[in-house]
Amino acid sequence: MCGIAGQFVLNGGEADADLVCAMAKRLAHRGPDGEGTCFSGPIGLAHRRLAIVDLSDEGLQPMANEDGSLWIVFNGEVYNHPELREELQALGHRFVTATDTEVILHAYEEWGRACLHRFNGMWAFAIWDERRRELFCARDRLGVKPFYYTLTGGSFLFASEIKALLAHPAVGTRPNDQMLATFLAWGVADHTGETMYDEVFQLQPAHTLVVSEEGAGEPERYWNLTMNAAPRGGDDDAAARGLRDLLTDAVRLRLRSDVPVGTCLSGGIDSSTITALIDELLRTERPGSVGEQQKTFSVCFDDPAFDESRHIDTMVEATGVVNRRVTPGTETLWEDIGRLLYMQDEPFASLSIYAQYCVMRLASDEVKVVLDGQGADEQLGGYIAYLMPYVRGLLRRGHILAALREVFGGARHHRSFFLWAARQSLVRSERRGLLRVDAPAVLRYSGSLDEVLAREITASNLPLLLHWEDRNSMAFSIEARVPFLDYRVVEFLAALPLDQKIRGGVTKYVLRQAIRGLVPDAIRCRMDKMGFVTPEEVWMKNELAPHIIDLFSSPGFARRPYWDAERVLQNYQRFLDGKSAYSTEFWRIACAEVWLRQFDGASE
């Protein structure tokens, strides 16, 4: 896990060493264990190292092949690198390090761009091919690792984070108004190749990009996800066994590390599953990266409406793991949010991200790698709102009785959520009226369940959550690993019929069956989904209120073309006075204003 950056001068000049080094310096938090650069004519590559596998200096990057015709900068992990190493050695390749980075180089030599299909892991890398005079860039299937780029002044620039690209004075001087408008109106980001900075792009998940002296080509997709649209069918027991076996192996691979590994434990089903699987492997296989006793990290709150201590206690009692907890204080909340926004590079849609940030800060005292349950909800229909497209799809296919069973099941298990959601829908619709932007509707839950899940995994939700997790973990020099996004698990779940994801109003049906006897029923059968959440509404009404009032009252805020400042302030005051309900539009507007001030240096 590292930070990468580089420049490819397209007009025949030489790479700017000062610029490339300045870009790398802005990524120091991603790689405090080492740094390196390589310059060769038009190409300049830089790397900041977070040493996880092969801690020796032989793992330093940029790394070259034997004859120096290939140079790579790589961020991520290829978990199956030992198996690939054996295969490549049998084909005649010789290795001088124990790193997965060198495996990528030899795999590229042997199989070319098709090498990506052999990797199980997360990656963003760039390979300079001296013979072809081209830069080959690639990002992993699900987009766990980031890759940003821009074309400016006759150069192609790339980096792990946008802030590194901003080292060039011509980059990031204007916001991308269309992306910002969509964020303000619908709370989405990372759903396209554009970013909230004008002319700064991200290589989308499962895409490659080739840059030559003629310029950058069009990004090309190398992997597709096909979702099963069948409403029912299949063997429940076989599906549960298959999922458990795959998840166990996904966790096993992600425990490969030469540094200590811990676990994020929220008390929900997904993180508890990962915790329990590690505990099982610790008893049977004793992976050295875990140590004698698994270390877990959790966030708790004084407000019982958001606190999951009792569920965390249940997992600790069942597994005997060591558990450390943090209760975020509010004394430094505003200052923390400022650093959080700097690390994220772009405004974020809610303060739920802050809980994860606090957990990563806590974990950084003891481990350099954490596993967590990210990605399970989007694959398994874990959000309660997914019930609506499921019922809609059943009705379209004429499965009336099945649709009614889901309606009654949803009402039985989640009645309070649907009542809240109906009220929130009206509030949010009204609050969008505070905006002066023209943003096409982004309706996350439109279509049938298979359509919604495919979109959530590849565009509308998961890429945003992975953005948050990468920056939150790397802010504290921690590598976050996500077993539910092992591509084998993803393809397996995508192939299951829909009733193995939601059945009778119960979400994550097949996972609940798969972990029977592994995770305590008090957690396995939970219907009150939370995860790492924060008391955002409480904070926005109390601790953060003076700061938000200052923002909404400032002359700079009033001059923005994105919102009706007077109505925003009035509406927020009504919420403070208890005359209207809260909705996240308030936070999105406030966060956007703080972010926008970096473009004009406003301080009022």
15 CB neighbour count, 10 Å cutoff: 22
Q: Express each pLDDT in 402-418 by its tens digit.
A: 999 999 998 888 888 88
Mean pLDDT of 132-156: 97
Residue 111 half-sphere exposure, CB side, CA atoms within 13 Å?
14
The whole-angstrom separation of Cα 519 and Cα 207 is: 36
The whole-angstrom separation of Cα 327 and Cα 316 is: 18
pLDDT at 332: 87
* Catalytic residue, candidates 2, 264, 358, 591: 2
591 classed as catalytic: no
Are the C-beta atoms of residues 478 and 367 closer than 8 Å to each other? yes
Q: Express each pLDDT in 180-189 by its tens digit.
A: 999 999 999 9
Q: Which residues of 558-576 are buried (b: 16+ CB within 10 A; e: fewer)?
A: eebebbebeebbebbeebe
Q: What single DSSP character describes residue 53?
A: S
Least confident of 31-45, 173-187, 412-426, 472-486: 412-426
The whole-angstrom separation of Cα 515 and Cα 500 is: 14
- DSSP labels, 338-403: HHHHHHHSS--S-THHHHHHHHHHHHTTT-SEEE--TTHHHHHT-SGGGHHHHHHHHHHTT-HHHH
Question: Residue 539 pLDDT > 80, yes or no?
Answer: yes
Place of tokens 């080739």: 210
Distance of CA 589 to the CA centre of its chain: 22
400 CB neighbour count, 10 Å cutoff: 10
Q: Where residue 272 falls among pLDDT bands split at 50, 70, 90?
A: very high
The whole-angstrom separation of Cα 537 and Cα 544 is: 10
Q: Express each pLDDT in 579-594 by its tens digit.
A: 999 999 999 999 999 9
Q: How high does pLDDT run on average in the chain?
A: 95
pLDDT at 303: 85
Residue 235 half-sphere exposure, CB side, CA atoms within 13 Å?
5
Question: Does 529 or 179 have the greater pLDDT score?
Answer: 179
**pTM over the 0.75 mark:** yes
Q: Domains of the chain by range and CATH?
A: 2-183+195-221 (3.60.20.10), 236-383+462-524 (3.40.50.620), 535-604 (no CATH)
Q: Where are the alpha helices (DSSP H) in 255-364?
A: 269-284, 309-319, 333-344, 352-363
Q: Express each pLDDT in 102-141 by its tens digit.
A: 999 999 999 999 999 999 999 999 999 999 999 999 999 9
Q: Where residue 599 falls among pLDDT bands split at 50, 70, 90?
A: confident
The whole-angstrom separation of Cα 345 and Cα 342 is: 5
Query: Is residue 72 within a helix (H) or strand (E), and if so which, with residue range?
Result: strand 70-78
Q: Express each pLDDT in 216-245 by its tens digit.
A: 999 999 999 999 999 998 899 999 999 999
Contacts of 600 (CB under 8 A, 6+ apart): 556
SS3 content of the chain, % helix, strand, coil (to 5): 45, 15, 35
pLDDT at 258: 96
Are the C-beta atoms of residues 84 and 132 closer than 8 Å to each other? no
Query: Is residue 305 within a helix (H) or strand (E), and if so which, with residue range?
Result: none
The whole-angstrom separation of Cα 291 and Cα 31 is: 24
The residues with which 286 forms a beta bridge, in sequence order, are none
What tokens were used for 179? 């992306």
pLDDT at 533: 61
Q: Where residue 1 falls among pLDDT bands split at 50, 70, 90?
A: low
pLDDT at 316: 97
Q: Where are the alpha helices (DSSP H) in 498-541?
A: 509-514, 521-524, 536-541
Q: Residue 422 phi/psi, 5° resolution? A: -65, -45
Name the nearest CA neighbour of 178 among 163, 200, 195, 161: 195
Place of tokens 């806590």: 362
pLDDT at 602: 40
The whole-angstrom separation of Cα 114 and Cα 111 is: 6
What is the rounded radius of gyration, in angstroms, for the C-alpha atoms of the chain? 24
Phi-psi region of 227 (alpha: psi -120 to 50; beta: other; left: phi over 0): beta
Q: Express each pLDDT in 57-111 by its tens digit.
A: 989 999 999 999 999 999 999 999 999 999 999 999 999 999 999 999 999 999 9
